[in-house]
A and B are shown apart, each in its own frame.
Chain A
Amino acid sequence: MMDLHEMDLLRHKETMNEQLARYGVRFGIYRNNVFHEQLFPYDPIPRVIDRQNADFLEKGLAQRVMALNAFILDIYGKKQIIHDGVVPEEFVFAGSGYLTQCEGMQPPKGVCSHISGIDLVLGKDGEWYVLEDNLRIPSGASYPMIARELERRCSPKTFRQYQIEDNRDYAALLRGVMDYVSTEGVPVILTPGRYNAAYFEHSYLAEKTGARLVSGQDLFVEDNILYRRTFDGGKERVGAVYRRLGDDFLDPLNFRPDSLIGVPHIFDAFRAGNVAIMNTPGNGVADDKGIYYFVPKMVRYYLNEEPILQNAPTFLPFYGEDMKYVLEHFDELVLKDVAEAGGYGVRFANTMTAGEKEDFIRLLKKEPRRFIAQRVVDFQEIETCSGDGYVPRKADLRAFVLYGEKPVVWKSGLTRFTTNPDSYIVNSSQGGGFKDTWVLSQ
């Protein structure tokens, strides 16, 4: 293992955090319905992924995303995986991620999951485990991007000393995907607005990709073609929309009618094949926590390959046998509400009181489809600076896969760590910080 204690970058933690503040590197959070912006605490000790692990992850992640993409196309098309009994239809159609409006859709170039954020942890057994697939609007790539830019300014010595893959190509990769799937016209990034939790990222990626940052009111559809309004009353055609708002809000005439931040008829333009929407609406059908259980089966089914990456051991109380196991081993498990995200709806059974357990089990029996249970993966801790010393903290990795002509795994990722020593929940919304992720180039 690489010893980073003598690394020059460690001396620059304070400067780095000042620089990140200077550039407004923040995330938003709502508490009691009030919006707050917070700086995202940065720690200079990176997660280091050696070449061997990087090669393994690259293959596994690309494979996983190809299977997930095939699944989405299949579900909104022939539904062969259901007919063949590999995934039960209850798990597909009962989930909130499935959208009937997407039936029969044919996204440009057959790509649905253009940007996938796959959350992994490295277990103490040295194995990588996938915890979650995020195929809707995964965020977080901008933080290690800008951190690397600033790290190199603060401590060039560090980057002369270690051979690290440059991660600042993310914007070029993203723009490459936009251009590949674009029908005709300019690319735009559609934001719900500055009070969105990830607004920094929306604006930063727009700047770095050269795409225009737009809100719903900047766009309109005419004859099933999407346009952007220009200041002189003109219009320019839009060929690809990297949307950063959820399906529900995308188009008030096709989804939630009360959405004020969407674009009327944008989904019709998409269905007509006149614009690419990244990621495509309806992707939620594949990143539901219940569907996650079936991803290794999808890999075998669609690609006829053995899955390279493994899931954390997962049980579906929906199946009688799994329910029995869950009830017998309840205290050893973490229970997740499939409808929740961002670290919410996660309950560690061993932290529940007797009354809470009783209530939870009752709910579990009543709504078995709503939950999954997982064995708690004892994942490796990463050293984190604390005062003048170092403390171990739980950390995960969000890896990004960009899918244009083929899936490309970004040679970096967002490493999030928990600031609470007793917590396993690393989400920024729950008080976590972030680290750069180094992929060694040799």
Chain B
Amino acid sequence: MGTVSVAQMDELFWLGRYTERVYTTIHLYIRYYDEMIERANLFADFCSRMEIPNIYASREDFVKRYGYDESNPDSLASNLQRGYDNAIILREVIGSDSLAYIQLAVYAIHKAARSDAPVIELQKVCDNILAFWGIIDDGSSPQVRDLIRLGRRIERVDLYARMHYESGKMKEAIGRLVHDKLVTGFGNGSSEKAAGLEKYLDNIPLDYHDIVVRAENLF
């Protein structure tokens, strides 16, 4: 393929963000799903950290609507749908074989919604997202790969910061983002800077709010 258009650049970036959002939040959801066996109201803490409205009446309501309700803009299903909305218009850029994994992830989340053991089925959503990233890394043009990857890196830093991940994981995520930003040159700011995020790679205390703001301003 030749150079992508402005619109496609944006779509690739958001495809990266939405796939990362689904992948990372599925892991968080599964962790909370487990902890909520003993602590039924823990979903309120999840919503607070994610800065999403707590519209859920109960643990069961949260499990169902946060997981699979496509009309809920915060749900896993609706975020995956938005990822699909970006992917479907990029077929000729990313290729049918790559797009198929997003399609399979959508089928898997629909199946999870109908399953008696939905969390087990969610693993297949993650498997397909991982396969999608793998095929993109393996076979796409550098431009496509870098845009999707930059979207993923920003989203991961954003989510980790919101969830106050421990320092080691946080720095690992920031390190990847800074590296990709500097190597690819995509995004806002000069090609030598990563919106000041690089300072967190040194031994300074993490300011999670500042990290979210800087990450969001990067592209």
Query: Chain A residues in contact with chain B, CB under 8 A?
Result: 21-24, 146, 186, 193-194, 199, 203-204, 206-207, 210-215, 217-218, 228-234, 236
Contact = CB atoms under 8 A, between A and B. Distances in A.
B107 interface: yes
Given A231-B4, A231-B6, A212 B104 contact: no
B117 interface: no
Given A23-B96, A23-B103, A194-B85, 19 more contacts: A22-B100, A193-B89, A194-B89, A203-B91, A203-B92, A204-B91, A206-B91, A207-B96, A210-B1, A212-B1, A212-B5, A215-B7, A229-B6, A230-B4, A231-B6, A231-B9, A234-B3, A236-B2, A236-B3
B102 to A, nearest CB: 9
Contact of B5 (A146, A193, A214): A214
Contacts of B2: 186, 212, 236
Contact of A194 (B88, B93, B107): B88
Contact of B99 (A24, A229, A233): A24
Closest 4 CB pairs of A and B: A203-B91, A206-B92, A207-B92, A231-B9
Interface residues of B, number: 22
Among A22, A199, A231, the one with the most B-chain Cβ atoms within 10 Å of its Cβ is: A231
A230 B6 contact: yes
A235 to B, nearest CB: 10
A24 B95 CA distance: 12
Given A23-B96, A23-B103, A229 B5 contact: yes
Interface in B23-77: none
Contact of B92 (A212, A230, A233): A212
Contacts of B91: 203-204, 206-207, 213
Contacts of B85: 194
A203 B103 contact: no
A366 B93 CA distance: 52
A231 B5 contact: yes
A229 B89 CA distance: 17
A217 B89 CA distance: 14
A231 B3 contact: yes
A214 B99 CA distance: 18
Nearest to A215: B7
